[in-house]
Amino acid sequence: MKKHLLQFIAAVMAFAFLALPASAQKGTYAITNAEVVTVSGSVISNGTVVVRDGLIEAVGSSVSIPADAKVIDAKGHKVYPGFFDTNTKLGLPSASPPTRNASGSRSGSISNYPPSLRAESDVLEKFEGTEAKFSSHRNAGFTTVVVGNSTGIFNGNSVVLNLAGENVSEMVVKAPFAHNIAFKTERGGVYPASLMGTFSAMRQMFHDAKRLDEIRKMYASNPKGIKRPEADATLDALIPVVRGEIPVVIFADTEREIIRALNITKEFNLKTIIAGARESGSLAEKLKAHNISVLLSVDFPMRKLAENKEADPEPLRTLRLRVEAPKAAAALKNAGVPFAFQSGGMKNIKDFVKNAAVATENGLSKEDAIGAMTISAAKILGVDAQLGSIEKGKIANLVVASGDILDKDSSITHVFVDGKLFEQPKKKKKPAKADGDGEAKEINAGGVWNVTVEPPGMSIPMTFNLTQSGDTITGTISSNMLGSATIRNGEVTEDGFAFDVTVTFQGTDLDLNVTGIINGDEVEGTVDTAQGPATFSGKRDPKN
Amino acid sequence: MNKAIRSTVLFALVLSFAAIGVAQRTSGDVLIRNATVMTASSGTKTNTDVLISNGKIARIGKNLKAGNAKEIDATGKYVIPGIIDAHSHAMLDAVNEFTYAVTSMARIRDVLDPTDVTIYRALAGGVTAANLMHGSANPIGGQNTVVKFRYGRSADEMVFEKAPPGIKFAMGENVKRARNIPGVPRRYPASRMGTLEVMRDAFVRAKDYKKSWDNYRAGKTRVPPKKSEELDPIVEILEGKRLVHAHGYRSDEHLNLMRLADEFGFKISTLQHGLEAYKIAPEIKKYGAGVSIFVDFWGYKMEAYDTIPYNAYILWKNGVVVSINSDSGERIRRLNLDAAKTMKYGGVPEQEALKMITLNAAIQLGVDKYTGSIDVGKDADIGIWSGHPFSVYSHAEMTLVDGEVFFDRSKDIAMRKELEEERKRLEAMEPNLPPAKRGKKKKPEAKSEEKAKTPKREAGGVQ
Amino acid sequence: MKQIIKSKIGSILTLAFAVVCVAGTVFAQNGPADQNKTGVGGTFAITNANIYTVSGEMIKGGTVVISGGKITAVGARVSIPRGAVRVNGSGLNVYPGMIDAGTNMGLLEIGNGVAGTVDAGETGNINPNAKAILGINPHTSHINVTRVNGITTVQSMPSGSLVAGQSAIIDLNGATQSAMAVERQFALVVNFPQISTFAGFTPGVGPRFIDFKQAVKRRDNRLKDLKKVFEAAKRYGKVRQANAKDNSLPAPETDLKMGAMVPYVNGEKPIVFIAQRARDIHGVLKFAEEMKVKAIINGGMEAWKVADDLKKASVPVIYNRIHNNPSNEDDPYDLNFEGPAKLAKAGVLFSISTGNNGASVRELPYQAGLASAFGLSKEDALKSVTLYPARILGIDDRVGSIEVGKVANIVVADGDMLEAMTNIKHMWIGGRKIPLTSRHTEFFEAFKDRKLAQ
């Protein structure tokens, strides 16, 4: 029968990969005198791992070192299989401000669906970058990642990549891996604009995909008397999903989101993996009963706000959640739910392994924590035959660390991806305040920001023209609908800017309190009015 | 974990009651002793006991034998049926899918938030069940869900499974106003005229749709028709399988809708709001719809300007089944007082007033076989009140759903200190410390079995 | 009512009419064109009733005499003047009319979608010269709907901007604004800048918050604006006063806004500060002390947390949060129900208010009753809608209790006035006997007996 488009691409990719000559940089290495954490078997206390042509040629305590091997003496060091981050957006363009597109149709595309429902969206088409771009992940020990989108509802496929290679063809391990589903809504007043609509739209499209599959079969066997089934790339992409041929990764953090995911899974007999799963601990038994795997985010929630006696106390449920979240891994383990860790979009990838260690302080064994970054991940991704453990013949993704990786004093000295050695950058002398978390960022709020403000059901383009001077911000805002106005009380905040401004809307003065959070040249934030708040997001104009 | 605060209260309740057998899931027997029982069906009975067994009302009488039942002394107190709110948007993560004029495919069931504290506050006002509805942005809106307020449970466990399915219709200002966005073409309909045409169109489409399926099932066509999430529920309306809850204010709207329903051969179950229903009470009676109203909330928009607090009385006098709803996470806490007002405005008799927040709502939602009055065999959905439930000086003391205590004022008060202590404990833990304090202190308490292994993490983070 | 008619005429027709009156609520000559009927004056004696004087003991089987708009006698044994219209109060309770000290009565008819009926606030930030008394519609349907539930007096406040304007105290009777006015310009209304950490919702993620310090900074910025205005008004007042004493000194250029503020910033008249949270009320107290102004808190959700400071500063609270959910999900469910009980216990002068813009001010008695279900004594509940608001508004020499010499704002009910089931049977405002009719009774009469056309 017809190969699905994605599978076809995957086959081409795989072919391309196999056909490539081994990279010239992939040499032969022997890591010696190391404690080898094979993951698949027992720990080899004084072992050697031989790497050749991208694969593990040998591993053991009495392995002879090939004459052509470059020897890495790893005495006192540990060797791990390369780590997996099972959910990233690496190499994907950052979400641009949503464009209003009522019909949703793209020229040249066979689809009538709005952006958030474009199931045919192919992550490899959007992926950009070479190994050089992913050094922070790799330096933190991550050699294999899943790349996929989760900004819409049907987000298209995700892929498994190794973080080495000069082009995407060299990086692909498995494509597609799964279809990404998130319980998001369409923006700009287009259906589905509510969470209810999200589920209704999904249902309708699953039914439509099933029907299309059925009609295609009928038509293929005998087209006479049947109206030619319409070409629909979006529904075509969902056919393997409703057939259960490709897993779906459903993003769900709260208990109720996870239960919603289980319900839709049951209704359409999906092959579901839950991603995020922050509150999955209390549902572990249920997940087990439904035979669900989990890509658990280790971006554990932490309090971000400073202390103040007069401030409202944080909700108890927030306090509880922060304490409970790191316990989810152990709960899943105890219930027998297969799970792997993922970064969950954390700001500093170095926190990944740190937080894996936190999970071990909350009931998870160290072995299982390592497993959740290696073999358990490989199994869920369906790549355990070639990745996830240190075994002869498997892909040479390796991490060499100065000690137990879960010990905060250890550091990573070498990373191999596809047999290619990546040396760790020399540790810079730590300035007085180093190391990611809690550090005060230098905020640059000046410039022309083109943003889109989104009151419910609307989308208003607006420009902030800001000048920063120390902690003070001055400037103007302008918009076609609201005219322009000079800002007041402008100031630099911990992570962006805040100002007040009064605009005239249909003859009425509106006081706006604007708060923005800056991330590089992107900003998102809130416009607070007496009528209620609206969110905005946008970018700094590079021309100004 | 991770439930709203009050689930802890409930958890504690469950624990503390488990020992004496009350809050085991619908298994323990409870005897409410010596109460004034306002049955909502057969008058008020003084010095009366109510025996609850397996979550149902087993016996009502004087000096009942307790047997194994846990006794609740209700001397001087009032027992009434659990209040049922026939129109609520509590515990929802989404209320309106405003994009289309017909959103019958939207299901409230998909977006329930069982952790919404509104549920607990409603329980504290004696409410045990509610009709959760889609908003009023569309002539034909989404599918509603009837729930019992089993707070602390998952959304699935709160659904009142025996309630027949329903759907929201809406007319008037909200429908017209939806998507009235400056600079964007207005969504059809923008008038009461168009609203009815949208409905008419939907029913025409649904009939065609049904026909295409009938033909397919009869083997007349080879290719299966497209399954429509939008039209399936409308076909169910035509087949009498789905109750229509029609939001409307003006009396002419109600009449036009009833005429449209007659034309297509379906039934309007309940006129929601019906603020002017009193103007056409005889017509509504003749048609056979129920009306679910506010008692004295009015004047907040033009179409709410002609309502009167005597609405309930006039409808009742005409024999219409009237319920009083909240449509609000605030008002839901004091529906008892809204019922009381109907006695003042016109003079609805006491039991009839009580029915407007209990049995009549149950009738409108199709669950009166199971709940809505204190009758043997019905679910033990019960409120115990400190005094007459219509008195401003009374408050709910206990609220039971299926015989389980989901609100107990004395326990609630007792739990407040414990919750404060829990807060202090949690606030001292690493992830809850403000960034400036994090990583400085020794961890306050490592789990004992982990202690030996994990002496190391305290120095992480900022120096 | 029956008595009035009997004493006046006595024909068969009128008798029949009287029966209708007693049974229902209709009054003879009502019609939509005649919305704000101003009632009938004269001398009245309510006899043999339970008289809740509020200021003193309840008098059983007592009599209240109303004459010339005032209460002229109260007691168990008082002589009834000749010609007085007798109202048999047997089995009935007599109360002073209720007072809601925090409404927008008359300033808007329909708030949503009928902009033409809305006069609640002005544009711009500083509007001290906006006077509620000039915007109040004496013929709004809200007035009759409200008073037939026993409410006779309200404070009506402009809303919206930082300095919203000047409030008025009105009786709910009178064909003109002036006829209704108890105090034409009672207080300056200031929406005190709040500390709010809420920074809106991120769709799909939930609420976002800014750092508390940042929120305080934002508040302080706005507070600075307010201070500037106050200081400017004080200066303006000084210059004007200096000029008045010695006209060789320069006269200030007339500034309507500054001029309007002078009596308030000089502490001669009170300022109503809208504030709910403890931290904001603290802010008000600090600001009022610094500016030496006379403050009243309106809102007062967390006033109980600041009770000692309020008491020390003699700042009263118009509490309008009975029908509001607690602001935090962890708060006890009855937190706002208990507010008045806590204020009473702490000895803070407070009143209960609906905070409503007009249509639902009639809920006032039930709100006071609900506070009583959660700890407030019945006596205080009654006072919190009569004598206490009169004190806060500085009109307790005229209204708020049943005492000889006070204005005859009197309500006669067939039960406890705070109970939802209770019916108001008679009422007087300024000594005029008010017909118990409203837009609602009129519709009721028009439709209650409607039948299907045959």
Average the pLDDT over each of A314-323, B51-60, B122-131, C205-214 and give the range with the smallest value: C205-214
Kindly state whether residue B282 falls inside one of the protein's structural domains. Answer: yes
Q: DSSP of C246-260, one letter per residue?
A: -TTSPPPPP-HHHHH
Would an 8 Å CB–CB cutoff place B275 in contact with chain C?
Answer: no
**Contact criterion met (CB < 8 Å) for C330 and A313:** yes
Q: Are C346 and C444 in the same domain?
A: no
State residue C242's pLDDT score. Answer: 94
Distance from CA of C24 to the nearest CA of B (A): 8
The residue-averaged pLDDT of A330-348 equals: 95
The residue-averaged pLDDT of A462-477 equals: 89
> Which CATH number goes with the domain that contains B92?
3.20.20.140
- Three-state DSSP class for residue A193: coil
**A200: nearest CB among B5, B107, B154:** B107
Kindly state whether residue B201 falls inside one of the protein's structural domains. Answer: yes
pLDDT higher than threshold 50 for residue B452: no
Q: Are C67 and C135 in the same domain?
A: no
Neighbours of A109 (CB within 10 A): 13
**B107: nearest CB among A196, A208, A214:** A196
State residue B183's pLDDT score. Answer: 65
Q: Are C124 and C8 in the same domain?
A: no
CA–CA dist B188, B193 (Å, integer): 10
Q: Are C39 and C175 in the same domain?
A: no
Q: Which CATH number fits domain A447-540: 3.40.50.1100, 2.40.128.120, 1.10.275.10, 2.40.50.140?
A: 2.40.128.120
CA–CA dist A528, A309 (Å, integer): 24
Question: How many beta-carbon contacts under 8 Å exist across A and C?
Answer: 76
Whether C198 contacts A305, CB under 8 Å: no
A chain contacts of residue C202, beta-carbon cutoff 8 Å: 524, 535
Would an 8 Å CB–CB cutoff place C443 in contact with chain B?
Answer: yes
Q: Are B281 and B172 in the same domain?
A: yes
Would an 8 Å CB–CB cutoff place C238 in contact with chain A?
Answer: no
Instruction: Indicate the average pLDDT of chain B.
Output: 90
C chain contacts of residue A524, beta-carbon cutoff 8 Å: 202
Which among C155, C108, C128, C322 has a CA at the least distance from the CA of C237? C128
Would an 8 Å CB–CB cutoff place B454 in contact with chain A?
Answer: yes
Angle at B72 between CA B69 and CA B74, to 5 degrees: 140
pLDDT higher than threshold 70 for residue B374: yes
Q: Which CATH number fits domain A84-94+109-387+419-423: 3.40.190.10, 3.20.20.140, 3.30.70.940, 1.10.10.10?
A: 3.20.20.140
H/E stretch holding C106: none
Q: What percent of chain B has pLDDT over 90?
A: 84
Neighbours of chain C (3+ CB pairs under 8 A): A, B
Interacting residues of A410 by C-beta distance below 8 A, sequence separation 6+ = A78, A401, A402, A403, A404
Question: How many beta-carbon contacts under 8 Å exist across B and C?
Answer: 125
* Most B CBs within 10 Å, among A103, A181, A194, to test the B interface: A194
Structural domain boundaries enclosing C387: 98-399
Would an 8 Å CB–CB cutoff place A88 in contact with chain B?
Answer: no
**Contact criterion met (CB < 8 Å) for C199 and A515:** yes
Q: Are C269 and C152 in the same domain?
A: yes
Structural domain boundaries enclosing B122: 83-371
Q: Are B67 and B177 in the same domain?
A: no
Which among A356, A347, A332 has a CA at the least distance from the CA of A273? A332
Whether A278 contacts A328, CB under 8 Å: yes
End residue of a domain, out of C399, C418, C433: C399
Q: Mean pLDDT by 10-residue block, N- to C-terminus, for chain C (454 residues)?
A: 40 39 36 61 97 97 97 96 96 98 97 92 96 96 96 97 97 95 98 88 69 88 94 96 92 94 98 97 98 98 98 98 95 98 98 97 98 98 98 98 98 98 97 95 97 85
State residue A459's pLDDT score. Answer: 76
**B282: nearest CB among C334, C422, C452:** C452
CA–CA dist A402, A414 (Å, integer): 9
> Which CATH number goes with the domain that contains C382?
3.20.20.140
Q: Are C337 and C355 in the same domain?
A: yes
State residue B182's pLDDT score. Answer: 66
pTM of the model: 0.87
CB burial of residue A230 (10 Å; 0-12, 13-18, 19+): exposed
Domain boundaries, chain A: 84-94+109-387+419-423, 447-540
CA–CA dist B179, C149 (Å, integer): 39
State residue B441's pLDDT score. Answer: 46
Q: Are C56 and C73 in the same domain?
A: yes
Burial pattern C4-13, b for ≥16 Cβ within 10 A else e, equals bbeeeeeeee
State residue C1's pLDDT score. Answer: 39
Of B190 and A307, more confident: B190
Q: Are C337 and C283 in the same domain?
A: yes
Indicate the pairing of strand A142-147 with strand A83-88. parallel
Would an 8 Å CB–CB cutoff place B136 in contact with chain A?
Answer: no
Q: How many CA atoms lie within 13 A of C396 on its CB side?
A: 16
Average the pLDDT over each of B167-176, B437-446, C211-220 and give the range with the smallest value: B437-446
Q: Are B130 and B232 in the same domain?
A: yes
CA–CA dist C20, C62 (Å, integer): 27
Kindly report the three-state secondary structure assignment for every residue of A22-89: CCCCCCEEEEEEEEECCCCCCCEEEEEEEEECCEEEEEECCCCCCCCCEEEECCCCEEEECEEEEEEC
State residue A311's pLDDT score. Answer: 86
Would an 8 Å CB–CB cutoff place B94 in contact with chain C?
Answer: no
Kindly state whether residue B451 falls inside one of the protein's structural domains. Answer: no
pLDDT higher than threshold 60 for residue A74: yes
C chain contacts of residue A183, beta-carbon cutoff 8 Å: 204
State residue C288's pLDDT score. Answer: 98
pLDDT higher than threshold 80 for residue B8: no
End residue of a domain, out of B371, B395, B430: B371
Average the pLDDT over each of A494-508, B99-113, C388-402 and give the range with the smallest value: A494-508
> Which CATH number goes with the domain that contains B31?
2.30.40.10
Q: Are B105 and B168 in the same domain?
A: yes
The residue-averaged pLDDT of B81-86 equals: 98
Distance from CA of B326 to the nearest CA of A (A): 22
Structural domain count, chain B: 2
Q: What percent of chain A has pLDDT over 90?
A: 67
**Contact criterion met (CB < 8 Å) for C211 and A493:** yes
Average the pLDDT over each of A196-210, A403-417, A423-437, C104-118 and give the range with the smallest value: A423-437
Kindly state whether residue B432 falls inside one of the protein's structural domains. Answer: no
How would residue B171 be classed by pLDDT, with cut points 50, 70 and 90? very high
Kindly state whether residue B441 falls inside one of the protein's structural domains. Answer: no
Question: How many beta-carbon contacts under 8 Å exist across A and B?
Answer: 202
State residue A461's pLDDT score. Answer: 86
pLDDT higher than threshold 80 for residue A391: yes
State residue A7's pLDDT score. Answer: 55
State residue A489's pLDDT score. Answer: 81
> Which CATH number goes with the domain that contains C450?
2.30.40.10
Kindly state whether residue B438 falls inside one of the protein's structural domains. Answer: no
State residue B264's pLDDT score. Answer: 97
H/E stretch holding C51: strand C44-52
The residue-averaged pLDDT of A439-459 equals: 77
Indicate the pairing of strand B166-170 with strand A83-88. unpaired
Neighbours of chain B (3+ CB pairs under 8 A): A, C
Kindly state whether residue B429 falls inside one of the protein's structural domains. Answer: no
**C201: nearest CB among A310, A500, A535:** A535
Would an 8 Å CB–CB cutoff place A332 in contact with chain B?
Answer: no
**Contact criterion met (CB < 8 Å) for A515 and C210:** yes
- Three-state DSSP class for residue A490: strand
CA–CA dist A51, A63 (Å, integer): 12
pLDDT higher than threshold 80 for residue B24: no
**Contact criterion met (CB < 8 Å) for A533 and C214:** no
C 142-161 residues inside an 8 A Cβ radius of B: 142
State residue A347's pLDDT score. Answer: 86
Give the pLDDT confidence of B185-229 residue by residue, as tens digits: 778 999 999 999 999 999 999 999 999 999 999 999 999 999 999
pLDDT higher than threshold 90 for residue A469: no
State residue C204's pLDDT score. Answer: 55
Q: Are C105 and C84 in the same domain?
A: no
**Contact criterion met (CB < 8 Å) for C444 and B299:** no
Q: Are B228 and B297 in the same domain?
A: yes
DSSP at B393 = T
Would an 8 Å CB–CB cutoff place C111 in contact with chain B?
Answer: yes
Would an 8 Å CB–CB cutoff place C286 in contact with chain A?
Answer: no
The residue-averaged pLDDT of A338-359 equals: 95
**Contact criterion met (CB < 8 Å) for B438 and A302:** yes
pLDDT higher than threshold 90 for residue A261: yes
State residue A12's pLDDT score. Answer: 45
Two tokens, residue B411: 């326990």
Scan for tokens 């206390």, then name that residue: A45
A chain contacts of residue B448, beta-carbon cutoff 8 Å: none
Two tokens, residue C80: 């009834």
Backbone angles phi and psi of A302, in degrees to 5? -135, 150
Q: Are B71 and B127 in the same domain?
A: no
State residue A426's pLDDT score. Answer: 64
Write the single-letter amino acid at B375. D
pLDDT higher than threshold 50 for residue A382: yes
Q: Are B362 and B418 in the same domain?
A: no
Q: What percent of chain A has pLDDT over 70?
A: 87
Strands (E), C222-329: 270-275, 294-299, 317-319
